Structure 1
Amino acid sequence: MASDPDPDAASPAGYRRSAGSPRGQARRRELLEYVTADLAAHGLVDFSLRRAAKAAGTTHKVLLYHFAGAEELLREAVELLRERRASSGQAAALDPAHPQSLAERVKAIWPLLVGTGEGQRALDQALGLAMYDPQRHGMLAADSSERFLPLLAGLCPQEWSAQRREQVAELVFAALRGFLVQRRTSPDGETGGEAGLAALLRMLEREQAES
Structure 2
Amino acid sequence: MTDAGYRRSAKSPRGEARRRELLDKVADDLGQNGLVDFSLRRAARAAGTTHKVLLYHFDGPEDLLTQAVLQLRDRRITRAVTAAAEQGGSLAARVRSMWPTLIGEESWVLDQAIGLAMYDAARYADLARSASRQYLPTLLAMCPDDWDEQRRTEVAELILGTLRGFLIEWRTSGDAAGIEAGFAALTRALEREEQT
TM-score by length of 2: 0.93
* 1:205 match: 191
| Equivalent of 1:28 in 11, 19, 39 | 19
- 2:61 counterpart of 1:70: yes
* 2:90 match: 101
Whole-angstrom distance in 1 between the partners of 2:42 and 2:21: 16
| Equivalent of 1:114 in 78, 103, 107 | 103
CA RMSD of aligned residues (A): 1.8
| Equivalent of 1:195 in 181, 185, 191 | 181
Cα 1:58–1:86 shift into 2, 3 Å: same
| Equivalent of 1:178 in 165, 173, 187 | 165
* 1:7 match: none
Whole-angstrom distance in 2 between the partners of 1:127 and 1:16: 32
Letter in 2 for 1:185: T
3-state secondary structure, aligned to 1:158: coil
Shift of 1:20: 2.0
When you count helix as a share of all residues, which structure comes out higher? 2
Residues 102 and 205, structure 1, Cα contact 8 Å, conserved in 2: yes
Where structure 2 has 5 or more consecutive residues not aligned to the other structure, the ranges are none
Provide the identity percentage: 58
Whole-angstrom distance in 1 between the partners of 2:163 and 2:140: 14
Segment of structure 1 superposing worse, 17-26 or 200-209:
17-26
| Equivalent of 1:146 in 113, 125, 133 | 133
Cα 1:93–1:185 shift into 2, 3 Å: same
| Equivalent of 2:42 in 43, 51, 61 | 51
TM-score by length of 1: 0.87
* 1:129 match: 116
Could you say which structure has the larger radius of gyration?
1
Whole-angstrom distance in 2 between the partners of 1:151 and 1:197: 19
* 1:81 match: 72
Letter in 1 for 2:12: S
Q: Give a deviation string over 1:68-104, Cα, whole Å, max 9, x none.
A: 1000000001101101111111111111xx3411110
Residues 17 and 65, structure 1, Cα contact 8 Å, conserved in 2: no
Shift of 1:12: 5.7
Whole-angstrom distance in 1 between the partners of 2:120 and 2:61: 16
| Equivalent of 2:51 in 60, 67, 70 | 60
3-state secondary structure, aligned to 2:11: coil
